[in-house]
Copies of this chain bind each other. A is one copy, B any other.
């Protein structure tokens, strides 16, 4: 029996996609082979790869002057690849720190750039809000500005796209495809696949053409955006199965009505969950209301000694992976695209019932 899976990542996939994978696992498109068993350079796989790119472009309305890359190494790999592709070693680069994933990007950038300027840091509020843009202490000469639109652990989301004169670089790992996005505001958008795109091991990078010629010589070939764009993301063997699954997810998203429809559905899911939290004296989410994530909803119980009971009872009720991140504890419900409104409704009902019994 399938459960409602609130994992932060690798995360739930649409059931329809899983059924499709299963049905053609041994004999893909009548080839007598699994899609895992064919060359990435075969015509059949290149059709899969190109269709996936085309569907992603359509979903996000990616302008023609952007390349879409399917790379390996995850967003964490891009933490290194971004400075190597965009800035010389003596450069200054600007980073906004809104939590765990911002910090990891900052630490990695420090290997590659003379000055990593943290132009805003939410630490004074315990990383429970987004620092007001007006107070950011920007460098005059930064090669780019990096931020994390959605912090997966803290559940903090930017309610705005920053304004900047330099290339805007954004780690959209946990919120890409959750709602429509104006790609034209960005220099680089990147996202690990394992939340809203597909299996782990794939990272999507969307980069504006004018940023493709800055790479340092020491950029590894498999992360050189210019070269990878020229080679259709196949300078080396790509993660073909993950790419194929991503393509199925993109087709599923289109069948759901695209990102406007998904955004509305996600907003309603999140509202239902925050309503039960805010409407109780038992559950609590610490994030400033205007900065709350619609993808990752962390919450605590008024009686933390009930955490284990909550998680155990939830699991018995078919609601899994609600543990908070190991660094913060408590609970977290990740409600990515593949988590259905029914799943969220079941969680809401469970939380209300749990509060009635133990609140």
Interface residues of A (CB under 8 A from B): 1-3, 5, 7-13, 15, 18-19, 21-22, 25-27, 31-34, 36-42, 72-77, 79-81, 108, 111-112, 192, 194, 199-202, 217-218, 220-222, 235-242, 245, 318, 320-321, 326
- Out of B11, B108, B222, B318, which one reaches A77, CB within 8 Å? B222
Known: A200-B40, A221-B76, A240-B199. A34 touches B18 (CB 8 A): yes
If over half of A's interface residues share one DSSP class (helix, strand or loop), that class is named, otherwise mixed; here it is: loop
A176 to chain B, nearest CB (A): 15
With beta carbons under 8 angstroms apart, the residue of B3, B34, B111, B220 that contacts A33 is B3
Q: How many copies does the complex hold?
A: 2
| A32 to B242 alpha-carbon distance, docked (Å) | 21
Q: Which residues of B contact A39 (CB under 8 A)?
A: 7-10, 321
In the complex the two chains form, what is the Cα distance from A81 to B223 in whole Å? 12
B contact residues around A74 at 8 Å (CB): 72, 222, 236-237
Find chain B residues with CB under 8 A from A31 CB: 3, 320
For the complex, give the distance between the alpha carbons of A245 and B18 in Å: 16
> Could you say which residues of chain B place their CB within 8 Å of the CB of A3?
31-33
Q: Which 9 residue pairs of A and B lie closest in terms of their CB atoms, listed nearest first?
A: A201-B239, A3-B32, A76-B236, A80-B220, A201-B201, A22-B25, A72-B72, A36-B199, A199-B241
Determine how close the nearest CB of chain B comes to the CB of A172; give it in whole angstroms. 15
A115 to chain B, nearest CB (A): 16
Contact, CB under 8 Å: B76 / A240: no
Known contacts A13-B37, A31-B3, A73 near B72 by CB under 8 Å: yes
- The answer for the CA separation of A192 and B10 in the assembled complex, in Å, is 22
